[in-house]
Amino acid sequence: MLVQQPREFLRTVYAQPFALPAFNVCNMEMAKAVIEAAVAEQAPVIVQTYPGDLAHAAFGSDLGPLPVLIRAMATEAPVPVILHLDHGPGLEFNLRCLRAGYNSVMYDGHDLPLEEALAETALIARAAHGLNASVEGELGTFGGGQGSFDLTNPDEAPLMFERGHVDMLAVSVGSEHGQASRLDLDLLAAINAKAQGPLV
């Protein structure tokens, strides 16, 4: 079932002693496999798409059919499913995804100064919350195999919840996309102690 109240759902899950998995998919077959695995485990899941993968799958036609296909599969699934945009580049793209039926989006403002990132994130959060969707923010940068990171400052994490109005926050603690990571678990614990919501 497609989660109808994602913000409420995330708060409920956050209070439970388990992690909510999120998987990036770039085609219908991957989305189907993720949802089938969630059904087999009787577990909720976040199915997320990345803007570059959407562009590739759309053959230059806006967002293409993938979001519609994922929504249809999610609606039929007997477990809770959230359709999430991963690393949305800005307000316009996030709005397009929300209008296309995403019930969760991420704004990736990691390259902006903190105050600008908070303001942009809050703007997107206002729009998303008005459409009953959840929002993920980001603080810090994630390595892509180069070994360089801007780790999340624990003191900034509460600001993203308070002033950015996010429902969940992606934090940088040494993780690398697709690479061997050296996670700083002490930093993660410090961020978690100060944050006011789910961490990604």
Q: Look at residue 193 and tell me if it is in a domain.
A: no
- The token duo for 24 is 């990036």
Question: For the chain, what is the total number of helices (H) and then of strands (E)?
Answer: 8, 6
Is the pLDDT reported for residue 77 higher than 60? yes
Is the pLDDT reported for residue 147 higher than 80? no
Q: What is the pTM of this model?
A: 0.91
Q: How many Cβ atoms are within 10 Å of 82's Cβ, its own excluded?
A: 23
Q: Look at residue 161 and tell me if it is in a domain.
A: no
Read off φ and ψ for residue 168, nearest 5 degrees.
-155, 155
Residues tagged active-site: 86
Question: Are 91 and 123 spatial neighbours (Cβ–Cβ below 8 Å)?
Answer: yes
Question: At 52, which CATH number?
Answer: 3.20.20.70
Q: Look at residue 181 and tell me if it is in a domain.
A: no
The pLDDT-based confidence of 54 (bands split at 50, 70, 90) is: confident
Residue 126 lies in domain: 6-138+166-172
Q: Look at residue 121 and tell me if it is in a domain.
A: yes
